[in-house]
Structure 1
Amino acid sequence: MPPESDRKLACLVCRHRKVACDRRRPRCGLCDKNGFECEYKARDHRPGLRAGYVSQLEKRVEDLERKMEKVVGRLSEEPSHTQTETNNVSSTIREPPTLDFGNAETLRTPQSNAVRMETDPSPLVASPQDLLIEPLRYELQMVWLQRYHPWFPILHHTSVSQAFSEATSTQCLLRKAIEAVTIWDIPGITWEQKQISSTTLRQEVISSAMESLNLRCIQALLILSILFWGEGKWLPYSNLTAMCQRLSQQLSLPTVAGVARAQPSKMSTRDAATSQPEIDHEERLRTFWMIEMLDSIFALGFTSNLSTSKIPLGAKFPCSDSIWALQDPFREGVSFQNLRYSSGLSMCISLCTVELGAVHRFQQSVAETDGAAGGLEWQSAAQRLDERLTIWREEFVAAVFRLINTESPQDARAEMEIFIVLTNCVLNMGVITLLQSQTSLPDGVGSQTDSWPYANHRCMYACENMAAKIRRMEEDELKNCSPCLILPIFVAARFYIVHTKCLRADVSVNLHSLAYSLHICGHRWPLAKMFESVIRTAVAEHRTPIPQSALPIEFYDLRFSVVEICHILQEWSDSYSSPVLHSV
């Protein structure tokens, strides 16, 4: 009698044909009916996360939980201990530890047992890096507000000003995170200087934030996470967002997102004098939703059960952009709406947490039951999900026009607002990721099976819809885009290439448009530069048989999602001498 794990496996014939297997022994029903040789064999390689990665994440979660217990215990201690702990923190910051951002163990290991209290008004001791960046401080602040704040609005602009003008430890932590991101946008500084400055600032923020429990620490870590995303460093990105989720739960940010706005939230004594409780509350709400949105986009295509926060019932969405841009957005007389379609950000949140949440659950249920992707039952469920996304797309289009008429009726390019574009592209990425495993596979990639025409049609529609949107973006918009936009662009470009291989056709004009958009994004984000190198190489050899391709075969196998093979592409990019990498 085979063990329980082996009895859940489909036979090789059913697995290759991508049909449901009844798992009967010694011959399943399909093989017995058609006279096929029925063989059961455990998979040598299962697509998904590398071996040990889930265990690594689980261990990290356990370490974080133990550390948070210590934090909660210290927060309940007598106030007399605060000054001693603060001195310990200051002495730690003078000599920033050397952290390896690619190693999960170093990210979760504290360098000091000190805990910085939220009410601590003491300034951080100036480091050599502070003295280096001091003359650029105003320029870095302006860079954040102009280039990053539009697509990462978790901070009110008055909070950004406070971070650069006040010397409390929490404000300095937030400022250092912003500087680690924006230093790359300052001309006249060599790449080596920027790398050293950004790395040092990241080290200081991560080591200090791990010893704290307040909103500013979560925001600082979240700001660094987008930097790692844009660099394609998925392990430190995952570590930081997981830490943000845990800290947000400790601070009850999910609960804050669903309570009445009038309720004031906790803040330090010093911050209370310079900030409004309503702004603080809105920042907590936006921080919570940004964590959930990033996690949902990144999880597309993963079959593992990623940890997500429980969305509270009746949770409020962020306010409109026009209100958030005011100096005092919640003053008396301002018409405030907290609706699902009150801004592009709210629309993107709704898509990622509700609609794509159904896609995540479907993919995970298939993986957990070892279901056969492509069977009639799978196709029926996938088609229902796709139709649900189509209905949401229609509602989204109508909501965009209502929003434009309300917020910016005179703006001819209002529909190119950052979050409206991102929502459109992530929606199309969701369709492609859901169905691409059942589309045509080119010669040389695995076994040849019948593709699902519906999947081919819907994925091609999603690619064309995304390409049409991206073509309308101006170069400055692409240069200053969210790194989250890079992933959908590459997903569509990859599908175009594989589809072209299957048809033995010429390269699509839309593919050239997507490759060029990656080229422009690559001026800021290394991940886009790496993806462009992959696409340019694939285009150059589009007539070359896949076994002779310079690219990893996983690139052409649409049964793998982009996030699952990203580390393979990065290894190829590091080892393969591509002229694109040196010419961009």
Structure 2
Amino acid sequence: MVNTQNLSRQRPGSACEECRRRKVRCDRRRPQCQVCFETGIECKISTTRLPRGPRKGQLRTLRTRIAALERCLADQRPGITHQMAALFDSPEIECDSEEDPFRDLAALPEPGPEIFSDDQQTGGRSPQSPEAQSRPSGLVSDLMRADLDQLYFDRVHPFAPILQRWRYHIWTKQPKKSEAQVCLQYAMWTVAASLSAHFQSLRDTLYQETRRTLDAMDLKSPTGGILSIEQAQAWVLVSIYEYMQLSPQQAWMSAGRCCRLVLGMRLYEIDDPNSPLTMARDHEPSLIDWTGLEEQRRTFWMAYSLDRFISFHNALPYILNEQLIATRLPAPEEDFQAGHPTITRFLPEVMTRGVSNDHCSGLSSFSECIILATICGRALSHRQKAAVEQINGDVVDEFWTRHQWLHEMITFRIQVLSASAQVDPMLIFARIVAQTLVLFLHNVLESITWRTGEHVLGMLEYERLCVMAAHEIVNLVKLQGQLGYFKELLECLQDLDRVKNPSQSPGLSV
């Protein structure tokens, strides 16, 4: 007996071209189906089928046109008829699909909020120029914004903890945002999109819009524009994106602009005890916006860390002067997100030689990365001074004093980090950086030409430590890869020419 459930609902064969065009069911009769027979046309069948669905880019083009039309209608601009005609002036869009090509238009991006800027003369808020209003604010729909925000806090925030989550969600719900706030959102979405296969197609457009807005705000600053924390945070994220996706050189340039901005905002002296602002906070602690203050601290320290790490990668001078910093280290992440005020130490307190484990306990993982960034900066200066000392023929003992201090500090930090029971991706990253510095210092030793017998014996011990460090880096990179964080950052770190060259660093030749 024939199983009727396995029979096709239609007669075998392909539908004719006329039935496909009309999107009706073809009875597949031969030599002529019923539809072609009734209309008196030739019944043609094509065995070559085009891919189903709209062509690549067609839906995006439709979304862009419709979103632009909606903005025109919402703004009620003059000459809208001509703008509508221009939007549809391109060639007709064809679709060779049996399915409805407009099935996805229900999820069209809605127009973004109108962007306002501070009016310095009136003290109010005024709309920006038509050029600014024509920005692709409808590029990201409300649903996409929610997804990108979630991606940001899941994948970006763990290595760039500069935003307090609930504070961010509060100001994002405001109907009108400042230009700096919108720019920060685009920067957040840029980095988030770069770490997601689903949103990869958006990352370049988001990055270009972020850079365009940042450049525009930089041009306004000399004419009375107000520097905002969101602007500095956007530069931090742009530097990270460029470091991961473009080039360390481009990231170094952007990190420099970010550092100049935090210097202009005087974020390096937030907790200066002699500052009038600090004294006022001590007098009226109940009036302190602790969360906002901590965001400023974290933004400064993130700029500081990028300044050190990216300069270290490029072997170029850094900008921020460690000796001028009077800002406390970041609070633990749990206290920051919960809004609990916490008093932390200053950087010199934890950089002092001979500190105890008790003195360094309780530091956040972010603070540990800042300490390693500081050692990176000192190690880079050590190498640069060594090159000058060889030229000038300075005393060897000065070099070895610096070198021994750096090695002792790195060894101590490795011990502190290894004793931590947390499986924190930022702590693991700090451990990788610490072991990389062991390799770097060995490379500095190999670069010197004035060696005594005593120093050569000391170098043999450093070479043994270098080999151990290389093995530890391999293990930590594997562990970090399992956690899924810092993949791109680790690839950049592994690309350090002064570390990866086996002829210069025996530790990586094993």
Distance 2:123 2:277 in 1: 28
Aligned counterpart, 1:309: 321
Asked if 1:343 is matched to 2:343, the reply is no
- 1:426 pairs with one of 423, 430, 433: 433
**Partner letter of residue 93 of structure 1?**
A
Q: Which amino acid aligns with 2:385?
A: S
In structure 2, the CA distance between the partners of 1:495 and 1:128, relative to structure 1 (3 Å rule), is closer
Q: Which runs of 5+ in 1 are unaligned?
A: 1-76, 96-126, 267-274, 405-413, 441-449, 509-584
**Structure 2 counterpart of 1:204, one-letter code:** T
Residue of structure 1 equivalent to 2:476: 469
Letter in 2 for 1:176: Y
Equivalent in 185, 194, 211 of residue 184 of structure 1:
194
Could you tell me which of 76, 80, 83 is aligned with 2:121? 80
Please name the residue that 1:121 is paired with.
Answer: none
Question: What is the CA–CA distance in structure 2 between the aligned matches of 1:386 and 1:461, rounded to whole Å?
Answer: 19
Q: Is the alpha carbon distance of 1:187 and 1:315 closer, same or farther for their aligned partners in structure 2, counting shifts above 3 Å?
A: closer
- Structure 2: how far apart are the matches of 1:186 and 1:358? 35
1:485 paired residue among 487, 490, 494: 490
Deviation at 1:139, TM superposition (A): 0.7
Q: Who is 1:173 aligned against? A: 183
How far the C-alpha of 1:260 sits from its partner, in A, is: 9.2
Change beyond 3 A, Cα 1:232–1:79: closer
Show the 5 A alignment for 1:13-28: none
Q: Deviations over 1:491-527 (max 9, x none)?
A: 4995374479x89x9x74xxxxxxxxxxxxxxxxxxx
Specify the SS of the correspondent of 1:308: coil
CA–CA distance in structure 2, aligned partners of residues 152 and 78 of structure 1: 32
**2:436 paired with 1:436:** no
Answering whether residue 136 of structure 2 is matched by residue 138 of structure 1, we say no
Partner residue in 2 for 1:362: 382
Gap regions ≥5 residues in structure 2: 1-117, 281-286, 351-359, 448-455
Q: Report sequence identity in percent.
A: 15
The alpha-carbon deviation at position 146 of structure 1 amounts to: 0.9
SS of the aligned residue for 1:279 comes to helix
1:153 paired to 2:161: yes
> Match of 1:91?
130
- Taking the aligned partners of 2:445 and 2:317, their CA distance within structure 1 comes to 22
Instruction: Give the structure 2 partner of residue 299 of structure 1.
Output: 311
Report the alpha carbon displacement of residue 282 of structure 1 after superposing the two structures with TM: 0.8
Q: Quick one: distance in 2 between partners of 1:460 and 1:395?
A: 18
Q: State whether structure 2 residue 500 is matched by structure 1 residue 495.
A: yes
1:278 equivalent in alignment to 2:299: no
| 2:424 aligned to which of 417, 428, 435 | 417
Greater relative contact order (Cα < 8 A, sep 6+): 1
Is the 2:443–2:498 contact (alpha carbons within 8 Å) kept by the matching residues of 1?
A: no
Tell me how far 1:226 sits from its aligned partner: 0.2
Find the structure with the greater CA-based Rg: 2
Residue 163 of structure 1 and its aligned partner are, at CA, apart by 4.9
Residues 196 and 429 (structure 1 numbering): CA distance in 2 closer, same or farther, change over 3 Å? same
Corresponding residue SS for 1:472: helix
Are positions 1:224 and 2:244 aligned together? no
Please say if residues 268 and 325 of structure 2, whose CA atoms lie closer than 8 Å, have aligned partners that are also in contact. Answer: no
Say if 1:137 and 1:164, in contact at 8 Å, map to a contact too.
Answer: no
Corresponding residue for residue 209 of structure 2: 200
Q: Report the CA distance shift for 1:464/1:257 in structure 2 as closer, same or farther (over 3 A).
A: farther
Do 2:480 and 2:486's aligned partners in 1 also have CA atoms closer than 8 Å?
no
| 3-state SS of 1:136 partner | helix
How much has 1:221 moved relative to structure 2?
1.0
Q: Secondary structure at the match of 2:144?
A: helix
Contact 1:206-1:221 at 8 Å conserved across structures: no
Query: Scaled by the length of structure 2, what TM-score is found?
Result: 0.60
| Gap change, CA 1:152 and 1:265, over 3 Å in 2 | farther
Distance 1:188 1:298, change over 3 A: closer
TM-fit CA distance, 1:393: 3.8
Query: Structure 1 residues 218 and 428 mapped into 2: Cα distance closer, same or farther (>3 Å)?
Result: same
Cα drift, residue 230 of structure 1? 0.4
TM-fit CA distance, 1:281: 0.8
Residue 177 of structure 1 contacts residue 224 of structure 1 at CA under 8 Å; is this kept in 2? Answer: yes
Q: Which amino acid aligns with 2:297?
A: L
1:432-454 deviations in Å (ceiling 9; x for gaps): 223325549xxxxxxxxx99645
Give the letter aligned to residue 195 of structure 1. Answer: D
Measured after TM superposition, the shift of residue 257 of structure 1 is: 4.5
Amino acid at match of 1:348: C
Change (3 A) 1:303 1:371: farther
Aligned to 1:128: 136
Match of 1:30 in 2: none
Residues in 2 aligned to 1:482 and 1:295: alpha-carbon distance in whole angstroms: 20
The answer (yes or no) to whether the contact 2:305–2:370 under 8 Å persists in 1 is yes
Given that 1:254 and 1:312 are in contact with CA atoms closer than 8 Å, whether structure 2 keeps it comes out as: yes
> Given residue 362 of structure 1, which amino acid in structure 2 is its aligned partner?
H
* Partner Cα separation in structure 1 for residue 279 and residue 154 of structure 2: 28
* Counterpart residue number, 2:466: 459
Conserved 8 A contact 2:183-2:214: yes
Shift of 1:424: 1.5
**Aligned residues of 2:243 and 2:251 also touching (Cα < 8 A):** yes
Shift of 1:352: 1.9
1:512 aligned partner: none
Take 1:205 and 1:313, find their aligned partners in 2: how far apart are those partners? 26
* 1:320 matched to 2:332: yes
Q: 1:288 aligns with which of 284, 292, 300?
A: 300
- Tell me how far apart the structure 1 counterparts of residues 328 and 488 of structure 2 sit (CA, whole Å): 26
For this pair of structures, how many residues does the alignment match? 358
Report what 1:549 is aligned to. Answer: none
Q: Partner of 1:300: helix, strand, or coil?
A: helix
Q: Say if 1:325 and 1:197 are closer, same or farther in 2 by CA, change over 3 A.
A: closer
* Structure 2 CA distance for partners of 1:385 and 1:489, relative to 1, 3 Å: farther
Residue pair 1:153, 1:286 contacting (<8 A) in 2 also: yes
Q: Cα deviation per residue 1:528-577 (whole Å; 9 max; x = unaligned)?
A: xxxxxxxxxxxxxxxxxxxxxxxxxxxxxxxxxxxxxxxxxxxxxxxxxx
Partner residue in 2 for 1:388: 405
- What is the rounded CA distance, in whole Å, between the counterparts of 1:278 and 1:83 in structure 2? 27
Contact 2:379–2:441 at 8 Å: present in 1 too? yes
1:147 maps to amino acid: R
Give the partner amino acid of 1:360.
L
In 2 relative to 1, CA 238–357 (structure 1 residues): closer, same or farther, beyond 3 Å?
A: closer
- SS of the residue corresponding to residue 307 of structure 1 reads coil
Residue matched to 2:92: none
Give the partner amino acid of 1:468. Answer: N
What amino acid is the match of 1:428? Q
Distance 2:236 2:141 in 1: 21
Q: CA separation in 2, counterparts of 1:305 and 1:231?
A: 22
Measure, in 2, the Cα distance between the counterparts of 1:263 and 1:402. Answer: 38
Alignment of 1:237 with 2:268, yes or no, is no
Residue 34 of structure 2 aligns with which residue?
A: none
SS of 2:331's equivalent in the other structure is coil
